[in-house]
Structure 1
Amino acid sequence: MKPIILFDGVCNLCNGFVQTIIRVDPQGKFQFAALQSEFGKEVMTKAQLPVNELNTVVLYSNGKIFTHSDVPLEICRLLGGFWRLFLIFKLIPRALRNRIYNWVARNRYRWFGKSESCMIPTPELRQRFL
């Protein structure tokens, strides 16, 4: 199973993040699902995370759950190549990384806006969304 990125489907920042991953991942290593979807709720339940918790992007990879600042770092690791350079940020203590991540998450709707509904993928990208 490919790694799955779960994201807040109505968050403009989150949708931009997903669009960026799609652009830099032409091989299609990742699949995507909205946290609000049935699949997203199942994964959140399995991970013992609050189903209504939309303050973090979640990466489900090889049976492991990554949240908060670990998600972009793990995505960079999985993308490989140039993207591995960003793993330098693992030197920053997780508590500090997550504090910054949570600050952005709390303010993301105010700064980047919110959509009325979840993103609808194009027919070409449809198979990458669960």
Structure 2
Amino acid sequence: MTYYVIYDGNCNLCSNLVQALEQIDRGDRFSYMPMQDTAELAKFNITPEDCELGVILINAENPSQRWQGAVASEEIAQLLPIAAPIVSAYRAIPGLKAVGDRVYEQVRDNRYALFGKRETTYRSSYPACTEGCTPFPAE
């Protein structure tokens, strides 16, 4: 099964995490789309404003199945065999998920201040394109 990960390609933290996932997954489960690719986002009825609420994970075989924010991050980790037991434990410990959700929101809302903003949008080596990748606007 394939999943699309929609991330902020201008965020240093987000781009570095995508690059780490690329190294682990090598395009087996995940393909990636920066939120700056508005033409591709539109094909999923997603706006850049929607993306401000956090990373989005879409089931490529059933695009109506989606996760966003901290839950999307958990699902991504759950799909990686090495991380699945950690996610299960994280979800099982009372109160830990609530704290994790709040931390995610703080990082999401302050990502540029905390980790910096890239001058150019990071484009994955494993792009999620529905039919030929669309060119990005000049930056």
Q: TM-score range by the shorter chain?
A: 0.7 to 0.9
Aligned counterparts of 1:89 and 1:57: Cα–Cα separation in 2: 19
| Residue number in structure 2 paired with 1:34 | 34
Output one character per residue of 1:35-67: Cα deviation in whole Å (capped at 9) or x when no partner.
121212433x25xxx532424111001431111
The answer to whether the aligner puts 1:51 opposite 2:48 as a matched pair is yes
The Cα RMSD (Å) is 2.1
Q: 1:84 offset after TM fit, Å? A: 0.8
Q: 1:111 offset after TM fit, Å? A: 1.3
- One-letter amino acid of the structure 2 residue matched with residue 89 of structure 1: Y
- Consecutive unaligned residues of structure 1, counting only runs of 5 or more, are none
- Say if 1:41 and 1:69 are closer, same or farther in 2 by CA, change over 3 A: same
| Residue number in structure 1 paired with 2:67 | 66
| Residue number in structure 2 paired with 1:6 | 6
Q: SS of the counterpart of 1:31?
A: strand
Aligned counterparts of 2:27 and 2:35: Cα–Cα separation in 1: 23
Q: 1:95 offset after TM fit, Å? A: 4.4
Tell me if structure 2 keeps the 8 A contact 1:35–1:41: no
Q: SS of the counterpart of 2:5?
A: strand
TM-score normalised over the length of structure 2: 0.74
| Residue number in structure 2 paired with 1:98 | 101
- One-letter amino acid of the structure 2 residue matched with residue 105 of structure 1: R
Q: 1:72 offset after TM fit, Å? A: 1.9
Q: 1:94 offset after TM fit, Å? A: 5.0
- Consecutive unaligned residues of structure 2, counting only runs of 5 or more, are 130-139
The answer to whether the aligner puts 1:111 opposite 2:114 as a matched pair is yes
Q: SS of the counterpart of 2:83?
A: helix
- Say if 1:14 and 1:41 are closer, same or farther in 2 by CA, change over 3 A: farther
- The percent of aligned pairs where both chains have the same amino acid is 25
